[in-house]
Chains A and B, each alone.
Chain A
């Protein structure tokens, strides 16, 4: 394997390849930083650009876009408390309070370094584990997926605030909203009122941008309006501390969180379908539970940013495990990468390593090099992004609203999606003001379809044979953990 990797480096270490990786990362960061335009949109838009590239340059470019797009989402989350994507929402929890304290550059450095480190760990795991872990992933059936999702819901509700009941309500509300549209098993229309736009269900982008990004921006605008009315001061502007330095020693002081989060992200990434958001929040919850001062989370604890960014970036590399080994995309970004593979004449699946081994190892080498390039480009960009924090908020916030409208309109070019987003901005605003977790709503909505499918498949598969659970150690572990978390949450009330 080491020999193949060295050959991969020889093939990948060309000026053109490095330039394409750098361009991919830069475009990914810029597009990912716009609310609504995450790495998925960036990939979808930029795939046609790769038609004239060599297969290696094309895939390396797109992997760069994916890496940049995932970490770019943290920028508006930290600076404006308006995460552009659900997976960046956890970064806002501690990133925004740090920005308010004048530490936006430090927060962005924590995010970038964690992102690159998590990504690097994940890439190494991808190279080492691509074959054996693919076999383990195949053991996950509907029952195991149902158990993992129940665990995720319990964990999310438990960490969503002082009142876990509100967290559970938000999650089930999200899951309920995910049932609008065609039934995933037999395609029966549900609550669509004859509206064709609803047949595919509510748009995830519209719901996520509305509740996460736009509602936060509108909430801040209302706060400024009320502050102006009370004459207590307007035009909040963050005053950046001069101490923006973040030493390697200080960063790696968080090594336990980095390692734990990278492993969580990699584990989640290797299982098809679970996705980046779940990894980010499971990791955040794990970091909070492991911390000596869990109360400091949500108030500007860098560990929160480290946990989120290391985990969501670790998904990027690990997602390629099922993609390469089984031909099964781990998430939408991986599905788009598969389409790019196919466009360039490479069919992902069990024979890919045999037929295109040289290309795959060159891709692995490109991914490792991409991390260094990501670090350099991201580091150069931080002072530029920090200017946003210095700009008067009353000017930035309306501009973000406009960008949100564009971000939601672009993918489907649908006014229905824009209307959905505007409605969910109102829903998000009311939820935020009344103490409900909008993050729980979005994650319930995001995972609702998968939860329904796996639960229904389990019920159909095992009928009333409840002992089937006893035959699945993975399910037992996750169900016991779910029960423990629910009981602990209820005791906390």
Chain B
């Protein structure tokens, strides 16, 4: 399972340091607040509590994340990783862009319904990806969501939102 295909490249730079620290912080929040306050149940004499397993996995994430950050910090070479660190900034931009698109998609689905939202998504996606044959975009944008909506109703008898 090479990382260069599905899983993305390995970046032994600031991205690793940052990712490790963020994950460690998240595991810390889980251990200090989330698990103690939001996992109920008493531990019986012969039982193992429901918090045991989440706590165990959160500890594993914490330890491994700190290991990742430490290893990356020791191996960090500014000149070698400058390009990869630039990719780290892109990562933040893309994540922010997705939060925006994902949020608007969800809002669209619940407010204006599937067909108009899907139309906007198809057109927006095609344009952002660099496609410029407008009549094809228009045909796909108008026809595809409508066809999917009808097909889902015909085959599964499900009304999309």
A and B co-occur in one complex: yes
Q: How many residues of A contact B (CB 8 A)?
A: 91
Give complex CA distance A399, B30 in Å: 37
Query: Can you name 12 extra interface pairs (CB under 8 A) apart from A93-B2, A298-B3, A398-B124?
Result: A92-B6, A172-B57, A185-B48, A190-B40, A216-B6, A218-B98, A221-B128, A394-B131, A395-B126, A413-B158, A431-B8, A438-B6
Whether the pair A179, B54 counts as a contact (CB closer than 8 A) is yes
Cβ-based interface call for A488 (8 A) = no
Q: Which residues of A contact B128 (CB under 8 A)?
A: 221, 224-225
The closest CB in chain B to the CB of A233 belongs to: B130
Cβ contacts under 8 Å, B7 to chain A: 160-161, 431-432, 435-439
Chain B, 114-137, contact with A by CB distance < 8 Å: what is the 0/1 string?
A: 100010011111101111000011
**Contact stretch, chosen from A109-117, A134-142, A318-326, A453-461:** A453-461
At the interface, is chain A mostly helix, strand, loop or mixed?
A: helix
State the Cβ distance, B63 to closest chain A Cβ, in Å.
9
Query: How many chain B residues touch the partner (CB < 8 A)?
Result: 79
Residues of B within 8 A of A (CB): 1-12, 15-16, 19, 23, 30, 34-35, 38-41, 46-48, 50-54, 57-58, 60-61, 64-65, 67-68, 71, 87-88, 90-91, 94-95, 97-99, 102-103, 105-106, 109-110, 114, 118, 121-126, 128-131, 136-137, 140, 144-145, 148, 152, 155-156, 158, 160-161
CB distance from B129 to the nearest CB of A (A): 3
Taking a contact as CB atoms under 8 Å apart, the answer to whether A425 and B144 are in contact is: no
What is the CB-to-nearest-CB distance from B23 to chain A, in angstroms, rounded to a whole number?
6
- Distance of A206 Cα from B6 Cα, bound (Å): 18
Interface code A278-294, partner B: CB below 8 Å = 1, 0 otherwise?
00010011001000000
Does A89 reach chain B (CB closer than 8 Å)?
yes
> Given A186, A401, A431, A448, which contacts B50 in the complex, CB threshold below 8 Å?
A186
A-B contact pairs, 20 of them (CB 8 A): A81-B6, A96-B6, A161-B2, A175-B57, A176-B57, A179-B53, A188-B39, A190-B39, A190-B50, A191-B38, A222-B97, A224-B128, A234-B131, A299-B2, A397-B125, A406-B148, A410-B158, A426-B98, A433-B90, A435-B8
Give the complex CA separation of A193 and B39 in angstroms: 10
Rounded to whole angstroms, the CA-CA distance of A191 and B51 in the bound complex is 10
Are the C-beta atoms of B1 and A176 separated by less than 8 Å?
A: no
